[in-house]
Amino acid sequence: MIEILKPAELARARDTGALVADILHTLRSRAAVGTNLLDIDRWAQAMIVGAGARSCYVDYEPSFGRGPFGHYICTGVNDAVLHGRPYDYTLADGDLLTLDLAVSLGGVAADAAISFVVGGSRPPESVAMISATERALSAGIAAAGPGARVGDVSHAIGSVLGEAGYPINTEFGGHGIGSTMHQDPHVPNTGQPGRGYRLRPGLLLALEPWVMADTAELVTDADGWTLRSATGCRTAHSEHTIAITGDGAEILTLPR
């Protein structure tokens, strides 16, 4: 399903996006050496419920997961890049942490992800990988606008990731979003310009460049959810929800 939002729905999407951004900003400021992933999940739960919003994850049960996700946020550490299920793990100095959050407020969902290094260490390879995903996200947003095609956005993202030297997996990528978290169109993290669905005002997209340092192959953790790099290398993931407008693309998941 491809959903085109009406102006009133877009106004609600802005509120949802701001909430997602604010929660991620708060969680990033609180995540430190010694923080447990389950504490991050509890903090996310409290902020979502306190805002009168609904988690898109707790009851989420897609074909690629094993049973309901059962948590309020995805937490990926080091080699865990997607769908990271929080567990009893205490963050250490230099860990590369990814937080991926999707909530629904007023009947409209928004989705965003950030990656950052915990503590005072700054491993150059981790910093470079995070930067590449952030630059790719900016390029994808710049390529999105009324009349552009999905392939234009994918090509912009993939060009940055490829030039940075990272293998690109196309199994999981960006997606449409609206009244539900995952909708069409699928937006791979590489593609050919001029191809695919033509973007229209009112369309929401969650763009999410993610990479693994030396492989494009994923393996699924024993929890049935967490996707890790097949080689155990580090990973990074950046995501924003954007709205296609008459003028271009509006980023919805920025703090107000």
Each residue's pLDDT tens digit, 233-246: 999 999 999 999 99
What was the pLDDT predicted at 64? 87
Distance CA 225, CA 217 (A): 15
pLDDT tens digits for range 4-49: 999 999 999 999 999 999 999 999 999 999 999 999 999 999 999 9
Instruction: Say if 194 falls within a structural domain.
Output: yes
pLDDT at 1: 85
Q: Is the pLDDT of residue 63 over 90?
A: no
Let me know if residue 70 belongs to a domain: yes
In a domain, 154, yes or no: yes
Beta bridge partners of 55: 103
**E strand or H helix that includes residue 39:** helix 37-50
Coil, strand or helix at 43: helix
Find the CATH number of the domain harbouring 31: 3.90.230.10
Q: Is residue 27 part of a domain?
A: yes
For residues 93 and 191, give the distance between their C-alpha atoms in angstroms, rounded to a whole number.
37
The answer as to whether 227 is a domain residue is yes
Give CA separation, 109 vs 53, 61, 72, 207, 212, in Å: 10, 17, 14, 14, 27
Q: Residue 219: pLDDT above 90? A: yes
The three-state secondary structure class of 168 is coil
pLDDT digits (tens, 9 = 90+) for 179-212: 999 999 999 999 999 999 999 999 999 999 999 9
> Is 164 inside any structural domain?
yes
- Whole-model pTM: value is 0.97
Band the pLDDT of 134: cuts 50, 70, 90. Answer: very high
Q: For the chain, what is the domain count?
A: 1
d(CA 247, CA 198) in angstroms, rounded, equals: 15
| CA 82 – CA 220 distance, rounded (Å) | 10
Q: How many CA atoms lie within 13 A of 106 on its CB side?
A: 14
Peptide bond preceding 124: is omega within 30 degrees of 0, i.e. cis? no
Q: Is residue 1 part of a domain?
A: no
- Look at residue 154 and tell me whether its pLDDT is greater than 90: yes
Q: How far is CA 95 from the centre of its chain?
A: 19
For 71-129, the pLDDT digits (tens) are 999 999 999 999 999 999 999 999 999 999 999 999 999 999 999 999 999 999 999 99
CA distance 34 to 236: 21
Residue range of the domain that includes 240: 7-251
